[in-house]
Amino acid sequence: MKIIRPNSKKIEKIYNRQFIKAKRLQERVRQIIEDVRIFGDEALIRYTKKFDGVKLMPRQLKVSQIEISGAYQNITPHFVSDLKVIIENVSRFYRKTLRKSWRMKDEEGAVLGENYTPLERVGVYIPAGTAPLVSTVYMTVIPAKIAGVKKIALVSPPDKNGNINPHILVVADLLKVDEIYRLGGAQAIAALAFGTKTIPKVDKIIGPGNMYVTEAKRQVFGYVDIDMVAGPTELVIIANRYTEPRFIVADIKAQAEHRQGLAILVTNSKGLAREVKSQVDHNGFIILTKNLQEAVDITNRIAPEHVEVLIKNPQRIARLIKNAGAIFLGPYSPTAVGDYVAGPSHVLPTCGTARFFSGLSVLDFRKSTHIIGYSKRALEKMRLPLEKVAGIEGLGKHLDSVKIRLE
């Protein structure tokens, strides 16, 4: 790890880290999306053979109930019971965040409000390249279910034998996912966005993936909604001379398990910085600050996915952190707890987008419709303000539509 100062040029590169925007990648993904949009299942079969090495028939794209039931024979004995504990944790968190439709009425009889309506169909992408991301299944599906989404379709790339990892199938089955397809890459995103004969199109696509999946999500946004355009995972650790170095080293090494994972220690302790540097062989950074306030300011500028506050009074510092996907308080709250069991989804903003994005929530699966109901008395009261604005904008017929109701 490199030790850098807050005024160095290298820290500016951290602040300004961006997503990969390779023209060649963009064009390849655009072509895949266009092929799937035009040729449907035929293109899906072709790309699955090309990229995954698996030859399928269109009817084999959808995973059968027999295959899902058989997956239970290929998992460890206690997996389901352990999973139920996690499902309850995640469900309990998201039940607390659910918003209800509301109305208010003033003295003149004007009624205003919002209706919250769940999305009809959501597509979930689950990577399975280097390892099957089993946790991403429940971290995405549960908030969608609690939000009231009617249909959930899950896509995941097949292995060389054409199978989906049995743990992914079991979790999806326990959570009552409606449809599962053996399909990955940009072609899976295109199928969800535009639909094919076999795969109905969805309203929103969520879930992480490689650069092709990420670029595909970016390109189909507008035809469907997406959760976010996510980059490599990242962790900032705020610590001082009282922090246990072993915890920091362990958390940085855990972050290094992710391909291109970024780990940054921000500390005002030279001794701690030297000790951690001597024990970690990782391509990350140690930022040496004057005090903890400067550490907070730097963290807010980085706007990372995860922040661990490993000091004695973490609440005091956490209140000052405005830009982060998730904040972990104290020495016994490692990022791994949030990744797997705590409750809040691990689908979080990266690459500095925590300045304006939030982690996945039930609100991502619900849309609000504004309700406006005026009485004649309420309309009369607002006639003059409306007349002024309509006059400035030169839209006289708008004003006429009000006047005719008050004559």
**Cβ proximity of 198 and 61 under 8 Å:** yes
Query: Is residue 243 pLDDT above 70, yes or no?
Result: yes
CA distances (Å), origin 25, targets 30, 172, 347: 8, 31, 24
Q: What is the pLDDT of residues 124-176, one digit of tens each?
A: 999 987 778 999 999 999 999 999 999 999 999 999 999 999 999 999 999 99
Q: What is the pLDDT of residues 280-311, one digit of tens each?
A: 987 899 999 999 999 999 999 999 999 999 99
The per-residue DSSP string of 52-72 comes to: I-----GGGSBPPHHHHHHHG
**Residue 348: half-sphere exposure toward Cβ, Cα within 13 Å:** 25
Mean pLDDT of 88-100: 95
- The overall longest dimension of the chain from CA atoms, in Å, is 83
Domain match, 331 and 401 both: no
Which phi and psi angles does 102 have, rounded to 5°? -145, 160
**Cβ proximity of 165 and 84 under 8 Å:** no
Residue 357 lies in a domain: no
Domain residues for 238?
Answer: 2-19+232-342
Query: Is residue 20 pLDDT above 70, yes or no?
Result: no
Mean pLDDT of 44-56: 95
The type of residue at 401 is S
Give the active site residues.
Answer: 305-306
Say how many domains are in the chain: 3
Mean pLDDT of the chain: 94
Kindly state the tokens that stand for 108: 């003149």
5: three-class secondary structure by DSSP:
coil
Counts for the chain of helices (H) and strands (E), in that order: 17, 14
**Cβ proximity of 238 and 310 under 8 Å:** yes
Q: Global pTM?
A: 0.92
Residue linked to tokens 């299944």 = 137
Query: Is residue 382 pLDDT above 80, yes or no?
Result: yes
Listed residues 226, 245, 279: the one ending a domain? 226
CATH number at residue 244: 3.40.50.1980
Mean pLDDT of 365-380: 96
Q: What is the pLDDT of residues 305-337, one digit of tens each?
A: 999 999 999 999 999 999 999 999 999 999 999
The per-residue DSSP string of 235-292 comes to: EEEEE-TTS-HHHHHHHHHHHHTSTT-EEEEEES-HHHHHHHHHH---S-EEEE-SSH
Query: Is residue 19 pLDDT above 80, yes or no?
Result: no
Which phi and psi angles does 107 have, rounded to 5°? -65, -30
Domain match, 267 and 314 both: yes
Query: Is residue 18 pLDDT above 80, yes or no?
Result: no
Q: What is the pLDDT of residues 187-227, one digit of tens each?
A: 999 999 999 999 999 999 999 999 999 999 999 999 999 99
Domain match, 115 and 172 both: yes
Cα–Cα dist 57/37, whole Å: 18
Cα–Cα dist 51/67, whole Å: 23
Domain match, 152 and 266 both: no
Mean pLDDT of 61-74: 95
Domain match, 33 and 131 both: yes
Mean pLDDT of 48-52: 95
**Confidence grade of residue 22 (pLDDT, cut at 50, 70, 90):** confident
Determine whether 288 is exposed, middle or buried from the number of CB atoms within 10 Å of its CB (0-12, 13-18, 19+).
buried
Listed residues 199, 226, 253: the one ending a domain? 226
